[in-house]
Amino acid sequence: MIGTFEIIKQDKTSAARRGRLQTAHGMIETPVFMPVGTQATVKAMSPAELEELGCRVILGNTYHLNSRPGMEIMEACGGLHRFMGWNHSILTDSGGFQVFSLAKLRKMSREGVEFQSHVDGSRHLLGPREAMNIQRIIGSDIAMCLDECMPYPCDRPYAEASLDRTLQWAGDCRAQPRAEGQMVFGIVQGGVYRDLREKSAKELVEIGFDGYAIGGVSVGEPADLLIQGVDDGVRFLPPERPRYLMGVGVLTQIVESVARGVDMFDCVMPTRYARNGTAFTMEGPVPIKAARYKLDQGPIERDCDCYACRHFSRAYIRHLLNVNEILGARLLTIHNIHRYMRFMEQLRASIEEGAFEAFRTETNQRYSLQAIQA
């Protein structure tokens, strides 16, 4: 049944759980990492390549898809799945992050956010009604409520006003029509204020959603405050519903969040870092563009069976990157998404086998936040 979330194994030493979420376009095995396909594509990847790597859900963005190609084209082409040739699940962000990232181009009110388009300068209103209607036309499996992603730092009066507005929008979003089989998730906000996170979670649960996200983290705050934001939100969310941590892709933070009961993640890290010349490996990040790899005949990562590692050397990929050949970015993207997909497979297996704490310890020993962000 669409919308069913089944917990098939609960870890005995933490809140980590192994689950399955049924969507209109198939089953999502959780914990899951979702590559970001903001503009109807995961950059440098074809749908067939994503499928081959084991990806079964990607993320799209309401604001950007509404800007280009626009809903006239989207509707004429039968929705986002048909438009981009993707037969698996899609989650769409409502545009709330653009409220944060395009702060100089917007004006907020009870009715929504008036944006000045970053494309042509025209002005548009993105309110709860508009955000949900766009996502209905897109036909995503999971639609997100419109919210304001609070900045960091953020003073208390602003945080209170922002949260009140987000909660009002959540109620409005919940009341809007949706596509057949479409789920809607509410988003916990509240900045670094614990009582506001609690208020947000409790009021969203009272409204009632198919799942719940924790937003407003990974916006420049220290790592300890990011994890605090997860703690402050997740403990008030119902265990029978999926929980989604928005915009977090550091592997140690994923594991620590899974330990707190989070099921879903997304981030641009594997694709953006690839385009900048960095590969993720089980030993940490590798800056392939560095001069020390110019004669390196080894693969990106030892014992990796991805297409890039089976066929090409670090020296060759470094050459492609340094002469701006598209294939270089493509090969690194294939590897990075493969690494994330295998990491999540291993994480899920560790929960199933009762070995999550060992996996958690090993991950924290292998990686450091400083190394990943370097």
- Residue 228: CB partners within 8 Å, gap ≥ 6? 192, 194
**Per-residue pLDDT at 368:** 65
- Residue 254: CB partners within 8 Å, gap ≥ 6? 31, 33, 248, 265, 343, 347
- Distance separating alpha carbons of residues 301 and 343, to the nearest angstrom: 14
Provide the CA 195 distance to its chain's centre, in angstroms. Answer: 25
Stretches where the chain sits below pLDDT 50 are 369-374
If DSSP states are collapsed to H, E and C, what string results for 277-340? CEEEECCEEEECCCHHHCCCCCCCCCCCCCHHHHHCCHHHHHHHHHCCCHHHHHHHHHHHHHHH
Residue with tokens 């450091």: 368
CA neighbor of 100 nearest in space, from 225, 191, 193, 207: 191
Residue 51: strand, helix, or coil = helix
Tokens of 264: 């879903």
Provide the CA 369 distance to its chain's centre, in angstroms. Answer: 18
Ordered by where they begin, the domains of the chain are 5-267 (3.20.20.105), 274-373 (no CATH)
92 close to 135: Cβ distance less than 8 angstroms: yes
Element (H, E) at 244: strand 243-245
Query: Which DSSP category does 56 fall into?
Result: -
CA neighbor of 81 nearest in space, from 117, 135, 30: 135
Query: Which DSSP category does 207 fall into?
Result: H
**Per-residue pLDDT at 39:** 94
- Distance separating alpha carbons of residues 28 and 21, to the nearest angstrom: 5
Angle, alpha carbons 66-71-72 (nearest 5°): 145
Residue with tokens 């998404």: 337
Q: Encode 201-218: b = buried (16+ Cβ within 10 Å), e = exposed.
A: bebbbeeebbbbbbbbbb
> Which residues are identified as catalytic?
93, 266
pLDDT in tens, 305-329: 999 999 999 999 999 999 999 999 9
Provide the CA 256 distance to its chain's centre, in angstroms. Answer: 16
**Per-residue pLDDT at 99:** 61
Q: pTM score > 0.85 for this model?
A: yes
